[in-house]
C-alpha cells in the first residue's frame, strides 16, 4: 500500500513580491511531489503570470476545495481566491489590494487546516505595511496565526538544517522584550522546543538556553535576569525531564550548536536568534553580484495546526522578474512534510 502524502496548503504571500514566484519555482521540482500534495492558495491570474515569467510548461488546475486537486508534477493545483484586479495590479508596489489578498491567503490556509482539509500550512512572505493598509493590525504571520487559532502560548522557531533557534519574544521593542524575560514564559518556550524536536524524530533533544546579558550576566555583575528568571526556568525544565542547559553567553553558544553540541538554542529576543540564523543561511556571491543562498525556515510552535514559512521578506525589487531564489520555500515545504511524518 502506498504511503498517504500530506496536503500542504501554501499561502503565497504578497502577490507584488517574490512569494508567488518562489512557490511556483519550488513546485517545478518533481521530487517535492514525492513527499507531499502541494495546494497553492492565491489568485489564479497571478499564478498564470508567474508561470509565464519563469517560462515553465506547467498547467493550472483551478479548484475550490482541496479534495479536487490532482497533485501531480506538471500541474499546479490552485485554490483561486479571486481577490486581485489584474488590470490594476503592479509588481513591486505596496498596496491595500495586495495586502488584503495576502492576509486572505493566510486566513484561508488556517481555516482549511483547522477544519482538517489540509495537513499543514506553508507561508510565503507578507508585507506588514501592506496588510496594515488593508486594515489588519498584525506585526506578522506569527501573530495572525496566534489570533486566528486562539493560541496564546506560541513561539517562533527558525531552522536551517540542524541549526535551530526559538524565541522567548519576537515582535516587540527591545525594552519590552527585556520585560518579558520571566520564568514561566522561558519554561514554556523550552517545553515547546523540546516537543518540536521530538516531532521531527530527535529522540533526546539537547536544549541550550542563551543568557540575556553580556557573559550571561557574569553572576549578577551585568544584570540579574539570569539569576532571577532564566536559571529558575532551566531548573524547572530539568526537573520535568527535559535536557536543558545554560544560561550560556549569547556570543558563544551558537558556534557550539553549529558544532553539534546542541539541537536548539532558546533565545531571549528577536535579533538574538535571527542574526546568527540569517548570517548562516544568506550567502552573497560578490563575483556574480547576486545572492546564491537564501535558506532557512520559520516554524510557529504551540499551534493546533502546522505552520512553516520561508525565512525572508517580500523582496519587492525582484517581484515579477523571474530572479527570485526558491531555496527557502523548498526547505519550508520539505520541513512541513517532515513534521507531517512524510
Residue percentage of the chain with pLDDT more than 70: 96
Least trusted range by pLDDT, from 152-161, 248-257, 263-272: 152-161
Check if the beta carbon of residue 328 is closer than 8 Å to that of residue 297: yes
Beta pairing, strands 155-160 & 37-42:
unpaired
pLDDT at 67: 95
**For residue 315, what pLDDT is reported?**
87
Q: Above 50 in pLDDT, residue 59?
A: yes
Among 338, 335, 336, 322, residue whose Cα is nearest residue 25: 322
Q: What is the mean pLDDT of residues 237-244?
A: 98
pTM of the complete model: 0.88
> Residue range 260-282: average pLDDT?
93
State the SS3 of 290-329.
EEEEECCEEEEECCCCCEEEECCCCCHHHCCCCCCCCHHH
- C-alpha to C-alpha distance for 317 and 310, rounded to whole angstroms: 17
Q: Give the pLDDT confidence of 111-150 residue by residue, as tens digits.
A: 999 999 999 999 999 999 999 999 999 988 989 999 999 9
Beta-carbon contacts of 56 under 8 Å, excluding residues fewer than 6 positions away, are: 24, 28
Judge whether residue 330 has pLDDT over 60.
Answer: yes
Give the pLDDT mean for 216-237.
95
Contacts of 205 (CB under 8 A, 6+ apart): 193, 194, 197, 198, 242, 243, 263, 264
Res. 18 pLDDT band, cuts 50 70 90 = very high
- Over residues 318-339, the mean pLDDT reads 91
Tens digits of residue pLDDT in 278-319: 888 777 777 777 666 667 789 999 999 999 999 888 988 888
How far is Cα 246 from Cα 180, in angstroms, rounded to an integer? 18
How many degrees, rounded to 5, is the angle at CA 75 between CA 331 and CA 89?
Answer: 80
| Distance from chain centroid for Cα 42 | 18
Average pLDDT, the chain: 93
pLDDT score recorded for residue 294: 64
Q: What is the pLDDT of residue 1?
A: 42
Least confident among 92-106, 224-238, 317-331: 317-331
Domains, the chain, in order of start with CATH, read 7-151+303-339 (3.40.718.10), 155-278 (3.40.718.10)
Closest Cα to residue 210, out of 188, 230, 184? 230
What contacts 108, CB < 8 A, 6 or more positions away? 9, 11, 41, 79, 81
Bin 281: left if φ > 0, else alpha if -120 < ψ < 50, else beta.
alpha
- Rounded distance, CA 188 to CA 316, Å? 36
Amino acid at each position: 500500500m502506498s504511503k498517504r502524502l500530506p496536503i500542504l496548503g501554501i499561502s503565497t504571500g504578497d502577490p507584488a513580491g517574490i512569494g508567488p514566484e518562489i512557490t511556483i519555482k519550488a513546485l517545478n521540482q518533481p521530487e517535492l511531489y514525492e513527499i507531499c500534495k502541494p495546494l497553492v492558495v492565491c489568485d489564479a491570474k497571478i499564478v498564470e503570470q508567474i508561470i509565464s515569467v519563469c517560462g515553465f510548461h506547467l498547467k493550472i488546475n483551478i479548484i475550490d476545495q482541496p479534495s479536487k486537486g490532482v497533485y501531480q508534477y506538471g500541474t499546479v493545483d490552485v485554490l483561486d481566491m479571486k481577490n486581485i484586479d489584474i488590470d490594476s495590479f503592479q509588481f513591486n508596489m505596496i498596496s491595500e489590494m495586495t495586502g488584503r489578498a495576502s492576509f486572505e491567503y493566510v486566513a484561508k490556509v488556517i481555516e482549511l487546516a483547522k477544519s482538517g482539509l489540509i495537513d499543514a500550512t506553508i507561508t510565503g512572505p507578507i508585507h506588514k505595511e501592506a496588510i496594515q493598509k488593508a486594515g489588519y493590525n498584525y506585526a506578522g504571520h506569527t501573530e495572525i496565526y496566534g489570533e486566528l487559532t486562539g493560541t496564546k502560548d506560541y513561539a517562533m522557531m527558525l531552522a536551517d538544517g540542524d541549526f535551530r533557534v526559538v524565541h522567548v519574544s519576537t515582535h516587540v521593542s527591545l525594552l519590552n522584550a527585556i520585560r518579558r524575560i520571566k520564568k514561566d514564559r522561558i519554561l514554556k518556550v523550552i517545553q515547546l522546543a523540546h516537543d518540536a524536536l521530538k516531532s521531527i524524530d530527535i529522540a533526546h533533544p539537547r536544549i541550550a538556553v542563551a543568557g540575556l546579558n553580556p557573559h550571561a550576566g557574569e553572576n549578577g555583575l551585568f544584570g540579574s535576569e539570569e539569576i532571577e528568571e532564566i536559571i529558575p526556568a532551566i531548573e524547572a525544565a530539568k526537573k520535568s525531564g527535559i535536557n536543558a542547559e545554560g544560561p550560556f553567553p549569547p556570543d558563544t553558544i551558537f558556534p557550539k550548536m553549529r558544532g553539534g553540541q546542541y539541537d536548539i538554542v532558546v533565545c531571549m529576543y528577536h535579533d538574538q536568534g535571527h542574526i546568527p540564523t540569517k548570517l548562516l543561511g544568506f550567502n552573497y556571491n560578490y563575483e556574480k553580484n547576486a545572492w546564491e543562498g537564501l535558506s532557512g525556515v520559520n516554524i510557529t510552535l504551540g499551534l493546533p495546526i502546522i505552520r512553516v514559512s520561508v525565512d525572508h521578506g517580500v523582496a519587492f525589487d525582484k517581484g515579477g522578474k523571474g530572479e527570485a531564489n526558491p531555496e527557502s520555500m523548498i526547505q519550508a515545504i520539505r520541513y512541513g512534510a517532515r513534521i507531517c511524518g512524510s
